[in-house]
Amino acid sequence: MKRKDNFSELMGYAGKHRFLTYASWVLSALSALLALVPFVYIWLIVREVIRVNPDFSQASGIVKNGWMAVLFALLSMLVYFAALMCSHLSAFRIAGNIRKRAMAHVAALPLGFTEEMGSGRVRRIVNESSTATETYLAHQLPDLAGAIATPIGMLALLFAFDWRLGLLCLLPSVAAFCIMAKMTGKSMAEKMRQYQGALEDMNNEAVEYVRGIPVVKTFGQTVFSFKRFKGSIDRYNTWVVAYTKQLMKPMLWFTTAINGAFALLVAAGLVVARGDVTPEFLLDLIFYIIFTPVISVTLNKVMYMSENGLIVDDAMRRIRSLLEIRPLPEPASPRLPKDNSVEFDEVRFRYRNASEDAVKGVSFRAEPGQTVAFVGPSGGGKTTAAGLISRFWDASGGAVKVGGENVRDIPKETLMRTVSYVFQDSKLLKASVRENVKLARPEATEREVLAALHDAQCDDIVAKLPRGIDTVIGAKGVYLSGGERQRIAIARALLKNAPIVVLDEATAFADPENEAAVQRAFERLSEGRTVIMIAHRLTTVRHADRIFVWQEGQIAESGTHEELLEQKGLYEKMWRDYQTSVSWKVGGES
Ligand code: ADP
């Protein structure tokens, strides 16, 4: 039933091309039947050889029968090719359509979603799940049609020759089917899900690990950064070994059953004949012995097919789970921001699967044009709060307001135009500098792009690139440091010219010049805009209009730099620690 649902769902993606899938089944079944015919001809040859023995010159039909066998074998192959051609045309289209639908859906989801899910996982779901359906539709289903046609043809032959031997032939097949049913039963479906889950985890950790390499290098971390990745490999390993061991015995019996059919035939044939082996009986026996390889080939196909059935079940479930994640709802009665202020009113937020709120009823206000800084220990909730402003997620309680209106009531497009978010680790596309910057406003003129790059202090970056602003970032030999990437991201934000900017300051800089340049670029970006900055360096925040110190999901202190120093609280302590570390650094270097 479930398989059928999957199938009709898949056919939904095929559109008008679904008839190709059905055509492939008919052709494949026909090919399977045609493939049986050569065996009859081979048997005819053997029969003739035995009959005319020892005077082989009497044999007249051998050559003709031999050619007929070849002809039918070729015909069967040709028809099978045609079947695969049809099935592939439709399968590729379906896989393509699944990918398109899934990607269009992912693009509509809030940014927090990819962050939370891990982009490795999203990639795997979209890519590999659609590939799994392709194998299923292009190979497995046509083979299934063939596998159904083969026993029917066999049954016909069974009556044409010797029904007792025919039945014997079917016996190992029945045994093999029972073993297979056990191997692919309900508990195995669950196992397959776990297997896919472990694989997905490993994949995701690998992607995240490779992403994290720059940070790992900067901070000289070693084995600990491996820990999560290694953990996922270990889990996969333990799982696969246990699974393989469990399947060892059934697989052994299965292989024996399908390949041992002829041994059974020889032994049982003699018993059936009860010592009275007539030439006719011998001939029939020979037919079935010639014929048994077809059984093992067919059953092997069915075997891998049912395994793939499980993979497809799982693939469809994953795709569905992705499609079921709803985009943030668009407002029913849209409202436009009145000014460039940002305000939190008793905002709460909890991540899915988390046991505690990451933001615990926070209120604050940034006036239009002000620069406010978020500082505080890691895990305090700064990034989460900043994400709520751009609606990476929706608050679980309270109201996040931009220009006096709840962000939920502002149309998505307007909110995107109003708020820019510059990430700490700015993701640039593998495209030229120009294209990367223009992404913010595709219709921008060359002058505007150059001006944005200039204001974002990118002149030196562009100057050193081999092809200037047409250099493709990420191409061979073109590597930009974190600070340089962030400057290009700032140029993008400048070009976008949104009145409110959320900035997540980069933590790792290649050198002091780079840091200073990013600093100047930040200042340019702040001019005339409302800025919410997540600051990791206290020097950057000294001149902020207001500083909010985050701790455990709440704002513990707030004020200007001077006010906070006077309060002698957390900020003052952080500032002292910071001063010490700076003087220590300077001392250490001299
Ligand atoms: P900060 O930016 O101040 O370092 P964050 O906003 O990143 O703090 O984190 C606040 C809290 O939310 C932390 O306890 C962190 O563990 C948790 N958190 C952050 N991101 C996620 C996530 N994607 N899923 C679950 N919990 C998260």
Confidence of residue 30 (pLDDT cuts 50, 70, 90): very high
Mapped to the 3 state alphabet, what secondary structure does 258-304 carry? HHCHHHHHHHHHHHHHCCCCCHHHHHHHHHHHHHHHHHHHHHHHHHH
Choice from 208, 359, 384, 570 to test ligand 1 binding pocket (greatest atom count within 8 A of CB)? 384
**Cα(299)–Cα(144) distance, integer angstroms:** 10
**Cα(572)–Cα(558) distance, integer angstroms:** 12
**Cα(469)–Cα(488) distance, integer angstroms:** 11
DSSP of 176-241:
HHHHHHHHTSHHHHHHHHHHHHHHHHHHHHHHHHHHHHHHHHHTT--HHHHHHHHHHHHHHHHHHH
Cβ–ligand 1 distance for 548 under 6 Å, the answer no
Model pLDDT for residues 424-440, shown as the tens digit of each residue: 777 778 888 888 888 88
Cβ–ligand 1 distance for 378 under 6 Å, the answer yes
How confident is the model at residue 590, as a pLDDT?
37
- Backbone φ and ψ for 544, nearest 5 degrees, come out as -65, 150
Determine the residue type at 153: G
Find where tokens 């602003």 sit. Answer: 469
Range among 1-15, 207-221, 497-511 with highest mean pLDDT value: 497-511
Confidence of residue 378 (pLDDT cuts 50, 70, 90): confident
Q: Which atom of ligand 1 is nearest to the CA of 384?
A: 6
Q: Which atom of ligand 1 is nearest to the CA of 385?
A: 6
**Cα(440)–Cα(401) distance, integer angstroms:** 23
Range among 50-64, 315-329, 343-357, 508-522 with highest mean pLDDT value: 343-357
Cβ–ligand 1 distance for 356 under 6 Å, the answer no
Q: Choose between 289 and 34: higher pLDDT.
A: 34
Ligand 1: residue whose CA is nearest its atom 27: 351
Confidence of residue 217 (pLDDT cuts 50, 70, 90): low
Choice from 378, 383, 390 to test ligand 1 binding pocket (greatest atom count within 8 A of CB)? 383
Cβ–ligand 1 distance for 377 under 6 Å, the answer no
22 alpha-carbon distance from chain centroid: 29
What does the buried/exposed string (b/e) look like for 177-191 if buried means 16 or more CB atoms within 10 Å of the residue's CB?
Answer: bebbeebbeeebeeb
**Cα(137)–Cα(10) distance, integer angstroms:** 9
Ligand 1: residue whose CA is nearest its atom 25: 351
Q: Choose between 2 and 259: higher pLDDT.
A: 259
CB contact set of 237 (below 8 Å; sequence gap of 6+): none
Mean pLDDT over 539-543 rounds to: 81
Model pLDDT for residues 511-533, shown as the tens digit of each residue: 777 788 888 888 888 888 999 99
pTM value is: 0.65
The helix/strand count (H/E) of the chain reads as: 21, 10
Looking at the chain, the whole-number percentage of residues with pLDDT higher than 90 is 28
How confident is the model at residue 87, as a pLDDT?
94
Cβ–ligand 1 distance for 384 under 6 Å, the answer yes
How confident is the model at residue 342, as a pLDDT?
94
Q: Choose between 403 and 282: higher pLDDT.
A: 403
Q: Do residues 560 and 372 touch, judged by C-beta distance below 8 A?
A: no
Model pLDDT for residues 80-104, shown as the tens digit of each residue: 999 999 999 999 999 999 999 998 8
How confident is the model at residue 225, as a pLDDT?
61
Q: Which atom of ligand 1 is nearest to the CA of 553?
A: 10
Two tokens, residue 105: 């859906």
Q: Which atom of ligand 1 is nearest to the CA of 377?
A: 3
Model pLDDT for residues 331-370, shown as the tens digit of each residue: 888 899 999 999 999 999 998 878 899 999 999 999 999 9
Confidence of residue 389 (pLDDT cuts 50, 70, 90): very high
Residue 541 predicted with pLDDT over 80: yes
How confident is the model at residue 509, as a pLDDT?
64
How confident is the model at residue 162, as a pLDDT?
75
Residue 250 predicted with pLDDT over 50: yes
How confident is the model at residue 31, as a pLDDT?
95
Domains, the chain: 2-323 (1.20.1560.10), 342-582 (3.40.50.300)
Residue 10 predicted with pLDDT over 50: yes
Strand bridging mode 530-534 / 500-504? parallel
Mean pLDDT over 322-326 rounds to: 85
* Cα–Cα distances in angstroms (integers) from residue 325 to residues 13, 60, 357, in the given order: 19, 72, 21
**Cα(108)–Cα(323) distance, integer angstroms:** 11
Two tokens, residue 134: 């392709």
Closest-CA residue to 408 (of 332, 460, 461): 332
Cβ–ligand 1 distance for 354 under 6 Å, the answer yes
Closest-CA residue to 555 (of 543, 565, 564, 544): 564
Q: Choose between 212 and 365: higher pLDDT.
A: 365
**Mean pLDDT, rounded, of the chain:** 84
Residue 479 predicted with pLDDT over 50: yes
> In a 3-state reduction of DSSP, which class is residue 435?
helix
Looking at the chain, the whole-number percentage of residues with pLDDT higher than 70 is 93
> In a 3-state reduction of DSSP, which class is residue 328?
coil
How confident is the model at residue 153, as a pLDDT?
85
CB contact set of 343 (below 8 Å; sequence gap of 6+): 363, 364, 365, 366, 399, 400, 401, 402, 404
Cβ–ligand 1 distance for 535 under 6 Å, the answer no
Mean pLDDT over 494-502 rounds to: 91
